[in-house]
Structure 1
């Protein structure tokens, strides 16, 4: 990271803070950091607070951050909107002329778990950012969302008594942002918050949801898989019993491993019977791999019009569709499409194929499953910001229409928001892609 220290002949105007931007993303946060390094504690205002060095694992730090968030949440919407579009920022690990940072390793979900006892269950979501300083340190940013008319008053839910009395917070106290600090609310400020509550609830949620990627149609999948399976069985049964004087005949029926022993006719018959008994399981597994590597992935973009949505839970139901894991085309394997009667066995390889495990990171905001005759996709991002598109990846899942002749499918959705009992719902009709023949798809993929 470049040196953030201002030169001796520079002044605060060199790093004038642009408060017309939303303080999210590295570019905006770096501008905030440069301003803090230039002016130090003088940067503190109703929408910006600075902490130089903190132990991110201590109770005192959790109380300090909670106090800032409580004060930011209890601001007046009109006044807050003048700067940073209503957001407020806590910078941790910076001071005048330097940004020493704090030790790397603080995770947003762990910090939120430590803050929740102070903030309470209905507290609005907050954002979390970081800028690396070196291999061991980073500057952290805790970003409070804009206050809104109709929001409740947010009191502190837990007391903390520390060595520094200025860091203490009390259960039941109402904190507000002063000119450069967070303090208990005065009577007039409490009344202003009561008036904020009376000004009505949040505006209704209006979502735009263009789907990204296709809803696929594939014909003759079962027919192609059945043909491949018959071919595998024919090839296996054509291998004759070994002739005593023919080396080639012996090699043709040994197990595929060079370290294996020749199979007797009885062993081969038992292997074929076991393979035939698992036909339904093999076809289902092969179908998932075939379509997963052969068809393009899908996603969704969500835009909330003029409305911040905190911790949304959005369920999209693709009626009369199925959803499968998207697989990298480079991982295409014909042995995964049609199960061999006998798989090669390498004594030096693990008994379990770990490549089949699909790992999903903790708190990944997209899940998908087939429920009955429908495909269901659930989105749980941290927030939908006003008029800012939120887009899911297109390498998560594949959507397949069950009816190959369907020219479109119906998609319904339901949205709930953290701290809001209202359920918002809607429907849309989405055209499907041109029909693909499974035999052509098999040729193109394999």
Structure 2
């Protein structure tokens, strides 16, 4: 089969997407791959497809590049590899976007295998050749790597090579894997995954999940907050009206910027009406601050027994619980629990209180949310290492049992792993803390020692 090297001039449309559900073997399959590369060029490169516009397979550099591709293709995880080309991987040589100049004919499989053997080692899996002729002297060459299998060992590089471009270099003993569109040295987690492949596949995940800190139980929270608001209103009504002064010496900074304390009875009455309208919202916000400051933080410890878990996604659900943002004891602020009818801004600090805002890094591995009557905590670290406890911080959130009479809380968890279709689930009972009266909790947090 031959192909016109000036394929860019043909009017026949070329596929922008490639069907990877079939084997990349035979003339029809290779032609589809070629057409796809002609259409998109280097954008065709993926974990299972690499493209070289030209390559001298008689040179040490050319041989090293092929060896690097084959090493990376051999060190793939079987379940990930089988999603495309039924596990095969293909290196296409002699084509680029819109044109297929090819490489000189005459590359013999056994000769290339002899040149590759010092890099690949004696136990390396076989690979296949495919060819599409360009003209009498040139051809597009396809090197097709076999699908990886559970039980196969790791295939390290057996010989060093230093290329002019360091990206082409190979290191004796290094393990290479296929990245998104290139071949690179393996990271620790990828090496561990290949060790598990050599054992015949990944063993089942044996995960231990432990709750750190406590799950709070507090009675009469709404009642106590309502009483605090009633007391604030009674005090406001009992406070005499301030005497209006026209002296410039008594004008405070808030007065100057347009937020004066109400002076007349009418102004005080209007301020009270406005405060009452916002009462429900303020009580809800005050409740969050109160409990976030008063209750200890909670966390999660995870141990994977005898098994490396790559890119885990763990969702821990606390049934019939509520989560609130954890706040340090020093952040306790009475006026954030009971909104003053007349708030006195600081004379020295203008703008929002930065303690109300929590900033976490973009890749922070813990997030939490209230879902209906439950709490979901999502944990996404880089990995769980075998028998090495992974522990979250205990300053992210506090947990509160919705039923103050409950002495324990049911906790469920679901774990998935990158490159693994298996889902691991578990359930446990977490002990709830002793029941505390909200009035006692408020006094110990906001009043004692003040």
- The alignment's TM-score, normalised by the length of structure 1, stands at 0.56
Contact 2:75 2:177 in 1 (8 A): no
Within a 5 Å distance, the mapping from 1:93-172 to structure 2 comes to 149=150, 164-165=164-165, 167-168=167-168
Within a 5 Å distance, the mapping from 1:164-313 to structure 2 comes to 164-165=164-165, 167-168=167-168, 178-179=172-173, 200-241=200-241, 257=254, 259=256, 261=260, 263=262, 264-313=264-313
Taking structure 1 as reference, are residues 202 and 148 closer, same or farther at Cα in structure 2, changes over 3 Å only?
A: farther
| Cross-structure match for 2:103 | none
Q: After superposition, give the CA deviation of every residue in 1:400-426 in whole Å (9 maximum; x if it has no partner).
A: 000000011100000011111211111
Within a 5 Å distance, the mapping from 1:397-416 to structure 2 comes to 397-416=397-416
Taking structure 1 as reference, are residues 152 and 419 closer, same or farther at Cα in structure 2, changes over 3 Å only?
A: farther
| Cross-structure match for 1:190 | none
Specify every segment of 5 or more residues in structure 2 that has no aligned partner in the other structure, as ranges: 1-64, 78-147, 156-161, 184-192
Whole-Å Cα distance in 2 between the matches of residues 420 and 427 of structure 1? 21
Contact 2:73 2:177 in 1 (8 A): no
Instruction: Identify the range of structure 1 (234-243 vs 336-345) with the bigger mean alpha-carbon deviation.
Output: 234-243
Whole-Å Cα distance in 2 between the matches of residues 353 and 196 of structure 1? 51
Taking structure 1 as reference, are residues 435 and 181 closer, same or farther at Cα in structure 2, changes over 3 Å only?
A: closer
Query: How far off is 1:273 after superposition?
Result: 1.3
Whole-Å Cα distance in 2 between the matches of residues 306 and 294 of structure 1? 39
Taking structure 1 as reference, are residues 329 and 319 closer, same or farther at Cα in structure 2, changes over 3 Å only?
A: same
Taking structure 1 as reference, are residues 243 and 212 closer, same or farther at Cα in structure 2, changes over 3 Å only?
A: closer
Q: After superposition, give the CA deviation of every residue in 1:387-409 in whole Å (9 maximum; x if it has no partner).
A: 11101111111010000000111
Whole-Å Cα distance in 2 between the matches of residues 206 and 288 of structure 1? 37
Q: After superposition, give the CA deviation of every residue in 1:357-377 in whole Å (9 maximum; x if it has no partner).
A: 011112111111111000111
Query: How far off is 1:181 after superposition?
Result: 8.5
| Cross-structure match for 1:432 | 432
Q: CA RMSD of the aligned region, Å? A: 4.0
Taking structure 1 as reference, are residues 183 and 206 closer, same or farther at Cα in structure 2, changes over 3 Å only?
A: closer
Q: After superposition, give the CA deviation of every residue in 1:75-129 in whole Å (9 maximum; x if it has no partner).
A: 99xxxxxxxxxxxxxxxxxxxxxxxxxxxxxxxxxxxxxxxxxxxxxxxxxxxxx
Contact 2:315 2:414 in 1 (8 A): yes
Within a 5 Å distance, the mapping from 1:352-367 to structure 2 comes to 352-367=352-367
Residue aligned with 1:432, SS: strand
Contact 1:310 1:417 in 2 (8 A): yes
Instruction: Identify the range of structure 1 (316-325 vs 278-287) with the bigger mean alpha-carbon deviation.
Output: 278-287
Contact 2:283 2:338 in 1 (8 A): yes
| Cross-structure match for 1:442 | 442
Contact 1:300 1:392 in 2 (8 A): yes
Taking structure 1 as reference, are residues 380 and 152 closer, same or farther at Cα in structure 2, changes over 3 Å only?
A: farther
Residue aligned with 1:435, SS: strand
Contact 1:148 1:202 in 2 (8 A): no
Whole-Å Cα distance in 1 between the matches of residues 418 and 302 of structure 2? 17
Taking structure 1 as reference, are residues 410 and 262 closer, same or farther at Cα in structure 2, changes over 3 Å only?
A: closer
Query: How far off is 1:201 after superposition?
Result: 2.7
Matched pairs, number:
285
| Cross-structure match for 1:74 | 75
Query: How far off is 1:256 after superposition?
Result: 9.7
Contact 1:209 1:300 in 2 (8 A): yes
Within a 5 Å distance, the mapping from 1:385-396 to structure 2 comes to 385-396=385-396
- The alignment's TM-score, normalised by the length of structure 2, stands at 0.56
Taking structure 1 as reference, are residues 228 and 309 closer, same or farther at Cα in structure 2, changes over 3 Å only?
A: same
Taking structure 1 as reference, are residues 151 and 366 closer, same or farther at Cα in structure 2, changes over 3 Å only?
A: farther
- Specify the structure having the higher radius of gyration (Cα): 2
Contact 1:151 1:196 in 2 (8 A): no
Residue aligned with 1:307, SS: coil
Specify every segment of 5 or more residues in structure 1 that has no aligned partner in the other structure, as ranges: 1-63, 77-146, 155-161, 170-174, 186-192
Query: How far off is 1:272 after superposition?
Result: 1.2
Contact 2:253 2:347 in 1 (8 A): no
Q: After superposition, give the CA deviation of every residue in 1:291-350 in whole Å (9 maximum; x if it has no partner).
A: 111111111110001110001010000000001111000110111111111111346532
Contact 1:255 1:344 in 2 (8 A): no
